[in-house]
Chain A
Amino acid sequence: MSDCCETYLKLGHQVPDFEIDTYDPTVKNFGKISLEGQKKAGKWTILFFYPADFTFV
Chain B
Amino acid sequence: MGAEVVTVSTDTQYVHLAWQRHEKELANVKYPMGADPTGNLSRMFGVYDDSSGLALRGTFIINPSGILMNSEINFYNMGRNIDELMRKFKANLYLAKKKDEGCPSKWQEEGDQTLKPSPEMVGRVHEALNE
Query: Which residues of A line the B interface, CB within 8 A?
Result: 1-18, 20-26, 30-31, 33, 35, 38-39, 42-54, 56-57
CB distance from A48 to the nearest CB of B (A): 5
Main secondary structure of the interface of B (DSSP, over half): mixed
Query: Which residues of B line the A interface, CB within 8 A?
Result: 1-20, 22-23, 26, 29-36, 40-52, 54-71, 73, 76, 79, 85, 89, 92-93
Main secondary structure of the interface of A (DSSP, over half): loop
B9 touches A49 (CB 8 A): yes
Closest 3 CB pairs of A and B: A44-B3, A23-B16, A53-B19
Given A3-B50, A49-B55, A51-B55, are A21 and B35 also a contact pair (CB < 8 Å)?
yes
Given A8-B44, A52-B54, are A39 and B64 also a contact pair (CB < 8 Å)?
yes
Instruction: Kindly list chain A residues whose C-beta atoms are within 8 Å of the C-beta of B57.
Output: 49-51
CB distance from A17 to the nearest CB of B (A): 8
B71 touches A9 (CB 8 A): yes
A47 touches B58 (CB 8 A): yes
